[in-house]
């Protein structure tokens, strides 16, 4: 198996349909020595989504390896709700100096653009640590569904506007925005059903209670393999190595339907720069571990890495892209 290297900005665009990131961090020796005192106790990694979803799967895998790098346990704390803002708010209010956030595209770029009752300011209360991975999204239906192709899904939506519905991990998440992008580009209307996380959304699609879902590849891989979900198309410029038999949206006539989710680590803005540098260094090392490279390939995700500063700039650019789509689609937060 060939080793997957951390991606450059240009290669991530090619693989994920528009998502960009920086290169590998190389900290000077002096900077490394300054970060040696952190962490001095177990690290709490808050996942602002339900257990069992793609964010949770990735975070738990990374947590075990981050603990080895940091020399302290890394404990997962799931705090789902409000499109990821409940968990993020918890981290911004933490005072222990050892709480981090493992968040995603929607929670960091979409929700701040449309929410009117956020209890924190993501630009001033959170600091970027580093980007972890990026994954294309895949459009799935239940294996028992009468719909077998993306063209059939669109035809059914055009034949009965509003009758078809799609599940999501919640308002403002990329699982909603991926479907909103599909609606816009295909010129159809379908009804949104938000859930409290990806896991319950997946369960209801498999049960036939929702017609389809635009999901991150890792979260639905086991169910596609187990013939409980049928993959219709990958929303990317090229096929996924994890699902090579599934066509891309471009192949079925929707080249503008490019949707991916990225995940990264954030910290409270008051966390010392030396601690952020130490966490960033550990994350970059973990992303290059042979077993991590193999796991990411198997899950259909791509490791990214890079500096905290590159991740901060990337979040700003993504906020413009997804924030504008969210406003166009009339996304609202409960």
pLDDT tens column, 106-145: 888 888 888 888 889 889 999 999 999 999 999 999 999 9
Q: State residue 36's pLDDT score.
A: 60
Q: What is the pLDDT of residue 133?
A: 96
Share above pLDDT 90 across residues of the chain, in percent, rounded to a whole number: 66
> Does the pLDDT at position 170 exceed 50?
yes
pLDDT at residue 331, as a whole number = 86
What pLDDT is stored for residue 2 in this prediction?
33
Residue 185's CB is within 10 A of a number of other CB atoms, namely 16
Instruction: Give the C-alpha separation, 56 to 58, whole Å.
Output: 6
Nearest residue to 172 (alpha-carbon basis) of 52, 91, 85: 85
Distance, CA of 273 to CA of 100 (rounded, Å): 13
Tokens at 62, concatenated: 């990374």
**Cα–Cα dist 5/23, whole Å:** 10
Q: What does the pLDDT read at residue 23?
A: 34
**221: Cα within 13 Å, side-chain hemisphere:** 22
Q: How many residues does the chain have?
A: 334
Which of 3-17, 56-70, 81-95, 246-260 comes out lowest in average pLDDT?
Answer: 3-17
For 140, phi then psi, to 5°, come to: -130, 150
Q: Is the pLDDT of residue 308 over 90?
A: yes
Residue 297 predicted with pLDDT over 60: yes
pLDDT tier for residue 177 given thresholds of 50, 70 and 90 = very high
Out of 34-48, 195-209, 271-285, the most confident range is 271-285
Question: How does the average pLDDT of the chain come out, rounded?
Answer: 87
d(CA 10, CA 21): 8
The CA–CA distances, whole Å, from 151 to 186, 212, 254 equal: 10, 13, 10
| Strand runs labelled E in the chain | 43-47, 74-78, 99-104, 126-142, 165-168, 191-194, 212-216, 229-234, 260-268, 302-303
Residues forming a β-bridge with 103: 264
Query: Can you give the C-alpha Rg of the chain in angstroms?
Result: 19
pLDDT digits (tens, 9 = 90+) for 215-257: 989 889 999 999 999 999 999 999 998 899 999 999 999 999 9
Kindly indicate the confidence band of residue 334, based on its pLDDT and cuts at 50, 70 and 90: low
**According to the model, what pLDDT value does residue 26 have?**
40
CA proximity to 178, closest of 165, 166, 189? 166
């Amino acid at each position: 198996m060939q080793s997957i290297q951390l991606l450059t900005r240009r290669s991530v665009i090619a693989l994920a349909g528009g998502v960009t990131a920086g290169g590998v961090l190389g900290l000077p020796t002096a900077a490394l020595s300054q970060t040696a005192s952190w962490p001095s106790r177990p690290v709490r990694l808050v996942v602002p989504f339900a257990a069992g979803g793609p964010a949770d799967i990735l975070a738990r895998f990374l947590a075990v390896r981050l603990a080895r790098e940091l020399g302290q346990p890394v404990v997962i704390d799931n705090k789902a709700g409000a499109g990821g803002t409940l968990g993020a708010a918890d981290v911004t209010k933490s005072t222990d100096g050892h709480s981090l956030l493992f968040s995603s595209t929607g929670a960091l770029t979409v929700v701040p653009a449309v929410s009117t009752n956020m209890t924190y300011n993501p630009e001033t209360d959170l600091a970027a640590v580093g980007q972890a991975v990026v994954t294309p999204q895949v459009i799935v239906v239940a294996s028992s569904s009468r719909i077998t192709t993306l063209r059939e899904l669109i035809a059914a939506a055009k034949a009965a506007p509003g009758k078809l519905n799609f599940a999501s991990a919640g308002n403002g998440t990329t699982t909603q925005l991926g479907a909103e992008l599909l609606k816009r580009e295909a010129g159809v209307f379908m009804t949104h059903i938000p859930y409290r996380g990806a896991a319950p959304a997946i369960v209801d699609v498999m049960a036939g209670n929702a017609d389809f879902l635009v999901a991150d590849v890792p979260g639905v891989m086991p169910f596609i393999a187990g013939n409980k979900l049928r993959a219709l198309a990958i929303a990317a410029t090229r096929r996924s190595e994890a699902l090579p038999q599934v066509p891309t949206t471009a192949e079925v006539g929707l080249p503008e339907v490019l949707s991916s989710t990225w995940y990264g680590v954030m910290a409270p803005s008051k966390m010392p720069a030396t601690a952020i540098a130490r966490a960033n260094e550990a994350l970059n090392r973990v992303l290059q571990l042979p077993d991590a490279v193999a796991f990411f390939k198997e899950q259909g995700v791509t490791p990214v890495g890079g500096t905290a500063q590159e991740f901060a700039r990337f979040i700003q650019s993504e906020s413009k892209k997804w924030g504008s789509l969210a406003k166009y689609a009339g996304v609202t937060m409960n």
